[in-house]
Structure 1
Amino acid sequence: MDWDKLKVFFAVAEAGNFTKAAVKLSLSQSAISRQISSLEESLGAPLFYRHARGLFLTEQGEQLFKTAREVVVDLSMTEALITDKGDKIQGKLKITSSIGFGAIWLTPKIPEFLRRYPDLNLSFIFSDDVVDLSIHEADIALSSVFVPSESMYGRPFFKAPMGIYASREYLLAHGVPLKIEDLDQHQLVVFGDNSKIPSTDVNWLLSCGRAEGGTRVPYITINNLYGIGRAVEAGAGIACIPPYIASHCHGLIQVLPEVETPLVTFNFVCADILKGSPKIEALYQYLKEFS
């Protein structure tokens, strides 16, 4: 089977249409369409259903995609290992994290890291969607959610207590909560998308100080921690947010500082096969300096 055609098929199957695959592969849509048609002809079977909403894999296409995925992942991992031989810190490194943590906490620290290791080429994917390390969409994930498995290796590198914050304007208008139960009378701003929740304690503010099973009704829900911080900065209410978010929102005042809040923990995660990589270890040790 022609390897070039297989790569094109895999990109189209992942993207779901020719347009996105063309951008990813830097090919024209017509060239991609010809490659797919040629592959289908050589196999004697259709690989996609063409539909107005995009391309959908046929049963034969599903079988080929499963095999192609394994081949692409194996080759990608092998390439990463081959280019990582020796003690020199060099080569490409792709890192993913949530938008807030990546943009606010991580990016200011990267210039110094690259000054130490000028032969590295870094790229970043900041997304609140999960980036799949198992198919090598990235080398490293900095994640507050990590489930150990045989194929993934993770270790914590950042821990800090969350804080309860409000703006001066909000507190002047609504009063300062003096005990945790006073939150019953306040406007609470919390995380609002359970499918992308960054940690199990992110909405701790709704249940702290309440009888077991009791919960407060949020005033606003927002599916991004930085968005929560900016809403609180504008006077929307009270939120429990990580320190790296609070420090980048102007004029926030910490309330109930004596209350023990949950820790926000970020893990440094990579495929188990890459855990001995010198460049990955160099990044881990560097980021640990800020924990």
Structure 2
Amino acid sequence: MDWDKLRVFHAVADAGSLTHAGETLHLSQSAVSRQIRALEESLNTTLFHRHARGLILTEQGELLFDATTAMNKRLDAASARIRDSEEEVFGELRVTTTIGFGSLWLAPRLTKLYEKYPDLKIDLMLEERVLDLPMREADVAIRMKEPSQADLIRKKLMSVRMRLYASPAYLEKYGTPETIEDLANHRLICQNIDSHQVGASATLVQMLMSYDITSFLYVNNYFGVLQAVINNLGIGVLPNYITEDMPDLVRVLPDIESKEVPVFLAYPEELRHSKRVHVFRDFVQEEIIAYRRRMSELETDS
């Protein structure tokens, strides 16, 4: 199969339009159309359904698009390895983690990394969905459980626990619960137990729900839970790593917490020698060490 035609096909399938694909490839619409027509003739099949709103892949087109997508990801991985320098750190590094950890813990600390490596470009992808590292959906992942794929290098960074927190203003207005039964008189802010989250948090929320709490606010990530808590809406289930950067939050019912949730950093075996991956890994590990030290000091002071 002709690589140029496959490249054009992938751009059209990705854009859903001959015109938009042509703009991406710097080709005219007629040139793109000729390449697609020639590819369809060589394969003796129809790859797109054409209609007024654009192009839709046929079943055969879907199969080919899956193949070209996999090819592109492998090419990206090879390109990343080729571009890596033994002396300099530059270029793009795609990092994926959860919305809560990425926005509340990781992003505020990236200033130090950029000060040291100003030519590094971080593409920070925050979502609850677990991206496929071997298929190059991301270069590095920080996950709230140990990755299952065998072809990943992984390192446990730390453990976190889910605990109950409220703002001083909320507690002043509505009172501080002394027992778990007192939560019935408060609004609980948490993730829904059916949402995508770590099992320890879901187990804790499910236990709390058994105490006849009548008012809830469900948010699908911890950043949203935190915003609700600091705006005095109720008592939130939040990871304990927020306390370092949010010292004004008050821990409620300190005997109640989830089981430990492990936090792992992982990246594909093929990026073992990537300079960008190494400096990011070392940066996160150094920040974890500093975080642990400060958390230990906070617990000692309390």
Q: Which runs of 5+ in 1 are unaligned?
A: none
Distance 1:250 1:101 in 2: 17
Distance 1:241 1:252 in 2: 11
Aligned partner of 2:58 in structure 1 is 58
> Contact 1:206/1:216 (CA < 8 Å) preserved in 2?
no
Aligned partner of 2:230 in structure 1 is 233
TM-score where L is the length of structure 2: 0.77
Following TM superposition, by how much is the alpha carbon of 1:62 offset from its aligned partner in structure 2, in angstroms? 3.0
Aligned partner of 2:74 in structure 1 is 74
Following TM superposition, by how much is the alpha carbon of 1:266 offset from its aligned partner in structure 2, in angstroms? 2.8
> Contact 1:159/1:264 (CA < 8 Å) preserved in 2?
yes
Following TM superposition, by how much is the alpha carbon of 1:253 offset from its aligned partner in structure 2, in angstroms? 1.8
Following TM superposition, by how much is the alpha carbon of 1:284 offset from its aligned partner in structure 2, in angstroms? 1.0
Relative distance call for 1:112 and 1:250 in structure 2 (3 A) is: closer
| Structure 2 residue matching 1:137: 3-state secondary structure | coil
Following TM superposition, by how much is the alpha carbon of 1:279 offset from its aligned partner in structure 2, in angstroms? 2.5
1:144-159 equivalences under 5 Å are: 144-159=144-159
TM-score where L is the length of structure 1: 0.80
Relative distance call for 1:244 and 1:118 in structure 2 (3 A) is: same
Relative distance call for 1:12 and 1:264 in structure 2 (3 A) is: farther
Aligned partner of 2:239 in structure 1 is 242
Aligned partner of 2:268 in structure 1 is 271
Following TM superposition, by how much is the alpha carbon of 1:228 offset from its aligned partner in structure 2, in angstroms? 0.9
Relative distance call for 1:263 and 1:173 in structure 2 (3 A) is: same
Relative distance call for 1:217 and 1:143 in structure 2 (3 A) is: farther
User: Does 1:290 pair with 2:287?
Assistant: yes
> Contact 2:185/2:213 (CA < 8 Å) preserved in 1?
no
Q: Which runs of 5+ in 2 are unaligned?
A: 289-302
Relative distance call for 1:194 and 1:30 in structure 2 (3 A) is: farther
Following TM superposition, by how much is the alpha carbon of 1:187 offset from its aligned partner in structure 2, in angstroms? 1.6
When the two chains are superposed, the root-mean-square deviation of aligned CA atoms in Å is 3.5
Bigger mean CA deviation after superposition, 91-100 or 81-90 = 81-90
Listed one character per residue, the Cα deviations across residues 254-284 of structure 1 (whole Å, up to 9, x for unaligned) are: 1112434433443212122223423312211
> Contact 1:18/1:32 (CA < 8 Å) preserved in 2?
no
Amino acid at match of 1:70: A
Aligned partner of 1:202 in structure 2 is 201
**Paired residue total:** 287
Amino acid at match of 1:234: N
Aligned partner of 1:140 in structure 2 is 140
| Structure 1 residue matching 2:278: 3-state secondary structure | helix
